[in-house]
Structures are given as C-alpha cells and as structure tokens.
Structure 1
Amino acid sequence: MGQLKRSDVQPHDDYGFFGPGSVVWKVWSYPSAPTVGFQRAVVVEELDPPLVASVHNTQGIYERPRTRYDRTLRYFAMVAFAGTKDVCKAADVLVKVHSKAIGKLPYDEDAQGAGTSTVGTYDANDPASQLWIQLTGWHSILYAYEKYGPGKLTEAEEREYWEACAVAAELQTCSPDDVPRTREGVRAYFEEMRPKLAASPIAKQAMRHLLKTELVLPPMKWWEKLPAYVSARTLRIATLATMPRWMRKMAGLPHSRLLDVLVVPVMRLSFAVVHRSPHLELELISRLSPSTVPVIAPMKLGVPPLNEEVLTPAEARARHGYPRPADAHHDLRARQAARVFDKGEAASEEGLLESQEVLGRLA
C-alpha cells in the first residue's frame, strides 16, 4: 500500500461509541491490538466447545484464513472506531451471519477433551457464547497492551475500559449486565469458565492453525518472504507468551520460559517504533487486514467525522432504526433452526452476501 494521504480518507459519520480521548481509543489503537491481542483472542476462544464447534462446522479459518481474519478484525475495529450507523448495520448483519452457525456439538465439554459424543447443541448467537467472545477479545487486547505496550492502565482508566466493554456488549446478543466491571470480576468470570473449557481435537487443530500468522499475509515477492516468516514466528511466540501455562499445556502448545522472557523486549521495542508513525501502523494493518484500513485511518490521520459527537448504543439504534442484536432476526433464526434440527438440512446462506458490503469480501 502506498502512503495514504489524509485527503484520500473518507470520514466517519460520527465518533462512534467512544471517541478521541477515550481509553478504548488509547488501547485499541496501539499496534499490539490487531496483532498479539487479536491473535490471542481468536486462539483462546477455541477452547469453548460451542464456539469451536461453530468454527469447525463453517471451515472458514481453514478454507479462507486471510479473508476470515480480515472480516473479523474489521468488525472489532468498527466497534472501537467507526461511526455508529455503520456499526449498528454491522452488528445487525452479523446476527444474520451467525444464524447459520448452529448444530450439534461433536464433542463433550469436559476439560480433558476426551471427544465422546454428545447431544448438546451450539448457536453462535447464544448469549453465553457471545459473552465469551466479548470478554476474551477485550481482555486479550488489554493484556497485550500491558505486556508489550506502555504498561498497565491507571485505576480510573481500567474502570472506564470495562465500562466501555459493557457498552460494546450491547452490539452483541449478550447482555451488558453480564459484563464484569473490574479486573477481579473478569478474573472470576474466566475462573468460572475454566472447568467448561475443552482441548478437544478440533480445538487443538484450530488453535495451532490460528497461530500461523503467515497464513493471513498477502502474496509477496521472494525477497519479502523470509522477513515476513520471521515476523510471523515472532508474533506466534509473543502470543503464546500471553497465554497461561495451564492453558498451553491443556492445548498441547509450546511453553518455553526462556522465549516467554526474551520476546517481551523485542515486541515492546517493535511496537513502540511502529506506533511513532501512523503511516507505518496503517501499512502494518494493510498487510494483515486491508478492509480494516478505512476503519482506523480517520483516527490515525486525524480526519474528523462529519458530526463530532459520541452516541450511546440506545441513541444510535433510535437514530438509525436498528433493534438490539438480542432482539433481531428471530424469524430467520427460527427458520435456520428448523432446517438444521428438524429437517437435517444445512442452514441457508442468508446474510452472507449482504455482509460483504459491511464486513469485507468472503473470498
């Protein structure tokens, strides 16, 4: 990507749900977010049996890893930085897309991942699954920022961060009331989830696959391949270093104490250098997720929105005419459930084509 000019950037309609000066913009705009933070989130998520069943059923991460990474990162970036109308539309269409991700669990939910049959089901729109995605994502972004970035937030900033996480949860099918508002509350949530996590064969397969950063990189010239591979492997080590040892052991992932220590100064220096240049940050994003560049470019290059205001999700829904995701498309979800569970057919593709306009291309 050539250097993006400020005059070429399309402004957002408004500042979204957080805006300049917010702790969300501070943490999510650091280069640790779309790299280590995001990779950690999608890897850790796979230990949840309903979620990994959905991922395995669609096969998207295996068949089109680059576009899947691109679309998912774009959505997370939109929640943090895009205008409220675009975010509301994305949240609405995502409910349609997730309506396809339903079925029977292929493995049981015991933490050892024994892989016995079960009659349980999964639904990507289930509030419990959405809460797991929400908290794993926001916690991973913050953890990467603290470990490889400027360090821990102040007490006031941390309170603001988790309040913001609850605001963002209104764009999912989960309830913001279920989002912890403190670090201790977040720890308690993950401790409660720990017995429910399972390193099943499909979870281990997905986690190993998602740690291969090189799979989401664009085609490149021969002389670019070696440095790109080294960078991808370093990022993998950095992501592994953020994961608890019990989790890595459960999933059969490497856990070298020496590499855990050595990678920290490397990543801190690398991210600090990149963060000094907005254009360098945009170049990094363009390699990983091209469709995310228009989302974050206005913030990085100081392009103000058409309306310099920050809205709440309730205000945005009222203004733009969207229901809460938890209340959206119940007819479609019921039709999909009838196809899958009553008729034994595959779910329809409804919502997928529509999502390309909002989340980026499918292939």
Structure 2
Amino acid sequence: MGDPGLYTPRSVTWQLHGDPMMWVVGVRALYLQALLPRAVRGVLQNSDFRRDAWGRLGRTADFVGVTTYGTTEAAERAGARVRSIHRRLTATDPVSGERYGVGEPGLLLWVHCAEADSYLQVLRRSGYPLTGAQADRYLAERRVSARLVGLDAQKVPANRAELAAYFAEMRPRLMAGPEAREVDAFLQRPPVYPLLIPARDLLWHRVAALAYAALPPYAHDLYGRPAPTPATVTHRLRTTGTLL
C-alpha cells in the first residue's frame, strides 16, 4: 500500500541484499576496491575508518539498506548526500602530486562494480539459488544505485558479459600498493575494545579470511598471499551460507 522504493519486492536486489552473507560480500568488495590506487587513496586520505571502523561499516550498510528497502524519497535523499560528499573531497597522488576528486566517474564505477561482483560471486558460490538470467537482472537493477552515487547509468555494466569485459579492461591498472597493503592489514585485525579482542580473533578473522579467499585469483597474486583452491573456498562459502 505504501511506496515500495526504487527496487520493489519483486526485484532480485531486494532478495539478495537481505542475505546474511552480505558481511562476507562487503569485506570482499573492500579488498577488491583497494587494488585500484586512485580509488583507495580517496578513502585513506579522507576517511576516519582507522578510528571508527565499525561506524564506517555501519554507515555503508545503512546506505545499502535505505537505498534497497527504503522509500523513494529516503533513497534519493541518501544518494544526494553521498554525491554532495564526493563533490567536496579530493585526493593527492603521492608520486605526481596530482590532485583529483574522489567523485571521478572512473573511481565510482570501480567501487560500484567491485561491490556488485562481490554480491554475485559470494552468494552464488554460497548456494544462493540464483540463475544466470537473474544474475544479469541484478546487474541491470544495480544501475539504479549507480545513478544515486553520481554515475551515468547507461555506462554501467548491465549483465555478466559486460562486467567481465570491464574487469578485463581494468586489470592492467590494478596493483597492491602501500595503500592496499594498509587496507589488507586493517581488515585482518581491525581495532576493537580490549574485551572484544578474543571475539574478533575468533569471528572476524574467519569472515575476513573467507572474503579474501573468495577474491579472483589475480587479486591473490597481487596481494601476494595464497588462498585455498577454488573448490575449497566454494565449500567453505556454502557451509557458511548454510549455517547463516
């Protein structure tokens, strides 16, 4: 009876974003996003995530939740807020000294595609019943969120073939530089209150390790840390998905 929002309950996005594996998805996306130097610098030079890691993760989850399940007005308002922040922030290339905006379309597109790919890869490998046609539909639907953060929706991959072509094009530009190493170290041992350290070492370490293992092989090569075989990773994802 009310406003169903930008996606509506009939969308694939509505279904996927409610799956508890989204926490593994989010960490995998961060690992992948950090491999584009210009993108990760924008985060490290403007973010307080080192001091407020859990707050940042919570705000990101809130954005996904509001844009997926909120009213149209709430989703558009959240998108406008993100676009406003992007317009004000800049980053500096430490080598060339170039100063650039963190809202560059190329950077936003990388972040968007890394997140969308992470949803599809993690959920499908964890046993979520998603057909190829539904996966393509999900990517087409995600053009809505791309528009919200400031991208031209028509220039965003709308199916698996277009997404694969995009990643093939981007691979020569990826590297695990100092900033990516910092993100890697942070994700393995994020700061917590002393009393929560045992829980972090027991629970969070497993989430981060599984997210890293679920990355594509070229990402493992760039980071330089080995991962289990794809079959072993898929088994662990399926076991985790079943338990959750």
Whether 1:94 and 2:82 are equivalent positions in the alignment is yes
Whether 1:272 and 2:234 are equivalent positions in the alignment is no
CA distance in 2, matches of 1:49, 1:129: 10
Encode CA deviations 1:85-136: one digit per residue, 9 max, x unaligned.
Answer: 1111111111222233203212xxxxxxxxxx11433312111111111111
Instruction: Tell whether the 8 Å contact from 1:57 to 1:101 is kept in structure 2 after alignment.
Output: no
| Matching residue within 254, 257, 261 for 2:228 | 257
Whether 1:30 and 2:8 are equivalent positions in the alignment is no
- Shift, 1:227, TM fit: 4.8
CA distance in 2, matches of 1:155, 1:261: 20
| Matching residue within 150, 174, 194 for 1:197 | 174
Corresponding residue number in structure 2 for 1:161: 138
Whether 1:231 and 2:203 are equivalent positions in the alignment is yes
CA distance in 2, matches of 1:207, 1:225: 18
CA distance in 2, matches of 1:241, 1:160: 26
Matches within 5 A, 1:93-172: 93-106=81-94, 117-151=95-129, 153-172=130-149
CA distance in 2, matches of 1:270, 1:127: 35
Whether 1:177 and 2:154 are equivalent positions in the alignment is yes
Encode CA deviations 1:41-61: one digit per residue, 9 max, x unaligned.
Answer: 122111112211111212422
Instruction: Tell whether the 8 Å contact from 2:35 to 2:176 is kept in structure 1 after alignment.
Output: yes
Q: Number of paired residues?
A: 244
Instruction: Tell whether the 8 Å contact from 2:125 to 2:237 is kept in structure 1 after alignment.
Output: no
Q: Supply the RMSD in Å over aligned alpha carbons.
A: 2.3
SS in 1 for 2:148: coil
Instruction: Tell whether the 8 Å contact from 1:48 to 1:196 is kept in structure 2 after alignment.
Output: yes
Q: 1:74 to 1:96 in 2, by over 3 A?
A: same
CA distance in 2, matches of 1:164, 1:204: 33
- Shift, 1:30, TM fit: 1.0
| Matching residue within 47, 66, 86 for 2:54 | 66
Amino acid across the alignment from 1:138? A
Q: 1:140 to 1:211 in 2, by over 3 A?
A: farther
Instruction: Tell whether the 8 Å contact from 2:137 to 2:159 is kept in structure 1 after alignment.
Output: no
Amino acid across the alignment from 1:56? L
Q: 1:13 to 1:124 in 2, by over 3 A?
A: farther
Identity across matched positions, percent: 23
- Shift, 1:266, TM fit: 4.1
**How high is the TM-score relative to the length of structure 2?**
0.89
Q: 1:25 to 1:149 in 2, by over 3 A?
A: farther
CA distance in 1, matches of 2:184, 2:168: 20
CA distance in 2, matches of 1:262, 1:232: 20
- Shift, 1:225, TM fit: 5.4
Encode CA deviations 1:252-278: one digit per residue, 9 max, x unaligned.
Answer: 3x22326x654544442333333xxxx
Q: 1:234 to 1:261 in 2, by over 3 A?
A: farther
- Shift, 1:15, TM fit: 1.7
Q: 1:154 to 1:226 in 2, by over 3 A?
A: same
- Shift, 1:13, TM fit: 5.9
CA distance in 2, matches of 1:240, 1:228: 16
CA distance in 1, matches of 2:100, 2:176: 17
Amino acid across the alignment from 2:101? D
Point out where structure 1 has 5 or more consecutive residues left out of the alignment.
Answer: 1-11, 107-116, 275-363
CA distance in 1, matches of 2:5, 2:240: 29
CA distance in 2, matches of 1:243, 1:32: 15
Instruction: Tell whether the 8 Å contact from 1:45 to 1:52 is kept in structure 2 after alignment.
Output: yes
**How high is the TM-score relative to the length of structure 1?**
0.62
Corresponding residue number in structure 1 for 2:70: 82
Select the structure with the greater relative contact order (CA < 8 A; seq sep ≥ 6): 1
